[in-house]
Structure 1
Amino acid sequence: MMSIQPEGEDLRKATKWISTERMSNQEAKLSDLIQQASIKFDLPPTDTEFLMRFFSNKDTK
Structure 2
Amino acid sequence: MSIQPEGEELRKAIRWVGEERKFNSSISPKDLVEKACLKFDLSPKNAEFLARFLYENDRL
State the shift of 1:29 in Å.
Answer: 1.2
| 1:40 pairs with 2:30 | no
TM superposition score normalised by structure 1: 0.85
Q: How much identity, in percent, do the aligned residues show? A: 45
State the shift of 1:59 in Å.
Answer: 1.0
Q: After TM superposition, what 4+ stretches of structure 1 lie above 6 angstroms from structure 2? A: none
Question: Hey, what does 1:56 align to over in structure 2?
Answer: 55
Following the alignment from structure 1 to structure 2, what is the Cα–Cα distance between the partners of residues 23 and 13?
16
Map 1:10-49 → 2, pairs under 5 A? 10-49=9-48
**Equivalent position SS for 2:26:** coil
Instruction: State the structure with bigger RCO (CA 8 A, min sep 6), 1 or 2.
Output: 2
Q: What's the RMSD between the two structures over aligned residues?
A: 1.0
Structure 2: unaligned runs, 5 residues or longer: 1-5
Question: How many residue pairs end up in the alignment?
Answer: 55
State the shift of 1:57 in Å.
Answer: 0.7
